[in-house]
Amino acid sequence: MTFVPKPKLSHPELPKNRLGLTRRDYEGAVSTLCAGCGHDSISAAIIRAFFELDLPPHRIAKLSGIGCSSKTPTYFLGRAHGFNSVHGRMPAVATGANLANRDLVYIGVSGDGDSASIGLGQFAHAMRRDVNMVYIVENNGVYGLTKGQFSATADVGAKSKRGVTNTESSIDLAAMALVLGASFVARSFSGDKAQLVPLIKAAVLHRGAAFIDCISPCVAFNNHAGSTKSYDYVREHNEAVDSLDVIIGREEITADYAPGTVETVVLHDGSTLRLRKLAPDYNVHDRVAALAHIQDRERAGEIATGLLYVGPESKDLHENLNTVAAPLASLSDAELCPGEAALETLNAALR
């Protein structure tokens, strides 16, 4: 644990975004996680993504559950709203918050214990309801806070630090998210910011539940030979399906690619995702094929990463519920409680 505050001094040529903020303005407190934790790299990627998106920090809400991963919102976006919820209950709180104020940008950070065990049901419903949020699972395959027991995402055959082999089958959260109807599913690796930062940016811009399963090595308990979530193992077995560029707003696209190798996805706000295909014939819009590909690579002992699936952004939770356009939190008492006459009319309509 680091006790000293991070110096305020920064590189004098640090770039500023459109709000006049530097990347440092998106930081939080210094991490208290173990040195070298993959989660810290994910926090750094989140900081960079939000900085590059020119988002005002105070219009962001970060939510988490319990665990090492769920501590991390303290370490990024110090000026954003935050909610550290009960174990596994981040999705419910995020859903409620999103219902109350649809104008904020929501980022939920969870871990493999938080989302794949105690909060599996919560995770499932946030996905199927297509809550407009970024949902990142910082997946290290162990319970780090309780000294390294296998979690539900540990692969069969993986060895623990003490030499025990995992025999229970693992939950693949990306595959689950696909099955549950999430409209944006990606997988990445904390040690690959070139891949992770654009994915987070795309996830923020996407309307609906955007899920990122981010493999994040636990340096203390799951970074040894025999682990399938160590830095070395993931680097060796990482197979990206595509490489992503995010073009914010309606900037002109100038880069030139061979035809058929690039796919562009235009989002609701006009931003563009440009996907350079790394796996030939991979169709990012085909949910069934995506699932098949993930499982195929898993059988081959590889880890499929990148933007795995992005669906049409037709309906999110608010659209399905037909809520008003204004955030509920902004409605006045008179609007929320229109009085007896309005109740009478409503009741009459139901008779």
Which residues of this protein are in contact with another protein, per CB under 8 A? 1-14, 24, 30-31, 34-38, 40-41, 43-44, 190-191, 193, 217, 219, 223, 231-232, 235
CB 25 within 8 A of CB 57: yes
Taking the least distance from each CB to another protein, the nearer of 57 and 217 is 217
Q: If you search the block for the tokens 């030139």, which residue do you land on?
A: 256
Taking the least distance from each CB to another protein, the nearer of 294 and 303 is 303
Residue 222: CB minimum distance to another protein, A: 12
Residue 152: CB minimum distance to another protein, A: 24
What's the angle, vertex CA 182, arms to CA 291 and CA 279, rounded to 5? 40
Nearest CA to 104 among 16, 209, 204?
A: 204
d(CA 314, CA 267): 11
Residue 64: CB minimum distance to another protein, A: 19
Taking the least distance from each CB to another protein, the nearer of 42 and 61 is 42
Residue 275 CB-half CA count within 13 A: 25
As to burial, measured by CB atoms within 10 angstroms (0-12 exposed, 13-18 middle, 19+ buried), residue 319 is middle
Q: Where are the alpha helices (DSSP H) in the chain?
A: 38-52, 68-71, 90-100, 112-113, 120-129, 173-180, 193-205, 231-237, 287-299, 317-321, 333-336, 340-350
d(CA 197, CA 184): 15
Residue 65: CB minimum distance to another protein, A: 23
Q: What is the DSSP string of 77-109?
A: -TTSEEEE-STT-HHHHHHHHHHH-TTSEEEEE
Taking the least distance from each CB to another protein, the nearer of 127 and 219 is 219
Residue 229: CB minimum distance to another protein, A: 13
Taking the least distance from each CB to another protein, the nearer of 122 and 228 is 228
d(CA 87, CA 271): 35
Taking the least distance from each CB to another protein, the nearer of 81 and 161 is 161
Taking the least distance from each CB to another protein, the nearer of 122 and 230 is 230
Residue 303: CB minimum distance to another protein, A: 16
Residue 15: CB minimum distance to another protein, A: 9
Taking the least distance from each CB to another protein, the nearer of 40 and 130 is 40
CB 104 within 8 A of CB 81: yes
Residue 22: CB minimum distance to another protein, A: 10
CB 41 within 8 A of CB 216: yes
Strand partners, 305: 240
Q: Spell out the residues 6+ positions from residue 82 whose beta carbon is closer than 8 angstroms to its own.
A: 61, 62, 63, 73, 74
d(CA 98, CA 131): 7
Three-state secondary-structure class, residue 11: coil
Residue 7: CB minimum distance to another protein, A: 4
Taking the least distance from each CB to another protein, the nearer of 83 and 231 is 231
